[in-house]
Amino acid sequence: MIEQAVDAVDGDRLRADLEANAEFGALDVEEGRGRTVLPGTEADRRCRERFVDRLEAAGLDVRVDRVGNIVGRYVPPGADPMAPAVASGSHLDSVPRGGIFDGPLGVYGALEAVRAIDASGCELARPIEVVSFTDEEGHKFGDSLIGSAVATGSMTPEEALALTDDTGETMREGLERIGFAGDGVLDARAWEAMLEVHVEQGTRLERAGVPAGIVTGISGQTRCRIEITGETDHAGVTGMDERTDALAATATLVSGIEALARRIDTERGTTVATVGKLEAEPGAINVIPGRARFTVDIRDTALEPIERILEAIETKLEALEAERGVETVLDRLYTVDPVPMADSCQDAFAEAAGEAGIGSRSIHSGAGHDAMLVASVTDAGMLFVPSRDGRSHSPLEWTDWDDCTDGIRLLTGALTRLAGE
């Protein structure tokens, strides 16, 4: 029965769903296919309404919770309706000028898996729930993973609904305006497990020529903000040996962070560090910068290398104060621990890949996903499919349709295993 369910996955139907979804918030671009779908917008409303229609057309019972999480519930014939469900899904929102696969592949892929399971007559012991989490990307209301944060209890519905966008509109007002402020709260703790299929957003699978990556864990992350203060002076009359240049001091630190991250990554293969935002004051072409502020984002699958980079930054800041006469401040904004994926979910994907004859490899995720929060309350697993040239969060984001179909075939096999127990 499992093989029949896997064989019943309809790649053309999956493609049609993804292409139809791509029309909402579609961009006029010279190359690729892009969309902008932010929570509480007209494009978001249309995405949601179509998804609900497709869930209902497949015979699923649909509910929407207070923060707009959408769940379609499938109870196979003979299954215990009271047994904890196995869930699968992702998100429908996008970054501004994003691609068409990031998020929707996991949402519509989960629906396609259920349709295939139902068509095959596969007997399961548990229900399956298809979920679309609200505002995974966090580009409107100032926080990411909002829907899954509420579903896992790390954020209250009241906190989420009170978040505001740049115009002062709250999430509550946005959801009410588009008709997706529902009732109750989705409780991920009630799930037996949750699986998420996602585009890799990197080049490892493509370089290896492997169509599927079984995620072993999601990297932890530390973000900090650094301020270096020197003296503002005239660029023409202040000698090079008389300067306390905040930006020049910053430059040595930035290059040092990159060099250290490269060395550690050579050992581990999972370490990255990024200076993504830098501001210098006063920002005039003929004035020596007196102050520089910048951010540092450090990620790895273990905390030790993250802490090693932070310690090196602190040591370098002390040296800059002594050698260059600047003042420095480091604020650690937050740290998110690395999250392992459940062995049971990895095994389910691996067994499905073996039986389907689809090549796979173990891989870690450097980006955050809804599954990382779900993993704090129940078993969670992820499967990556290749991204062409590693592009994502861009209209150039692309995953071949055959790779999308293979990924959902593996999802179908893994879901039948987990829901059959």
Task: Check which CATH number belongs to the domain holding 354 and give it.
Answer: 3.40.630.10
Residue 263 confidence (pLDDT): 97
Tell me: do 303 and 243 sit in the same domain.
Answer: yes
How would you class 340 by CB atoms within 10 Å of its CB: exposed for 0-12, middle for 13-18, buried for 19 or more?
A: middle
Same domain, 402 and 272: no
pLDDT at res. 400: 98
Backbone angles phi, psi at 415, to 5 degrees: -65, -45
* Single residue among 292, 316, 336 that ends a domain in this structure: 336
What pLDDT digit, counting tens, does each position of 150-191 carry? 999 999 999 999 999 999 999 999 999 999 999 999 999 999
Residue 297 CB partners (closer than 8 Å, separation 6+): 221, 222, 223, 273, 274, 276
Please name the helix (run of DSSP H) or strand (run of DSSP E) that holds residue 70, with its range, or none: strand 70-74
Q: Are residues 58 and 156 in the same domain?
A: yes
Q: Quick one: pLDDT at residue 35?
A: 98
Q: What is the pLDDT of residue 323?
A: 97
| Residues 211 and 238 grouped into a single domain | no
Q: Are 94 and 37 in contact (CB under 8 A)?
A: yes
Domain termination site, one of 293, 311, 336 = 336
**pTM attached to this predicted model:** 0.90
Do 19 and 90 sit in the same domain of this protein? Answer: yes
224 and 190 belong to one structural domain: no
Residues 133 and 210 in one domain: yes
Q: State whether 284 and 392 are in the same domain.
A: no
Low-confidence ranges of the chain (pLDDT < 70): 1
Domain, as residue range, for 38: 2-218+338-419
User: For residue 142, what pLDDT is reported?
Assistant: 79
Residues 285 and 364 in one domain: no
Instruction: List the alpha helices (DSSP H) in 91-203.
Output: 104-120, 146-151, 157-161, 171-178
The reply to whether 7 and 149 lie within a common domain is yes
Residues 68 and 209 both lie in one domain: yes
Are 156 and 107 part of one and the same domain? yes
For the segment 268-293, what is each residue's pLDDT rounded down to a tens digit?
A: 999 999 999 999 999 999 999 999 99
Q: Of 304, 336, 368, which residue constitutes the final position of a domain?
A: 336
Quote the number of domains for the chain.
2
- Give the alpha-carbon dihedral of 18, 147, 151, 83, to 10 degrees: -10
CATH number of the domain encompassing residue 325: 3.30.70.360
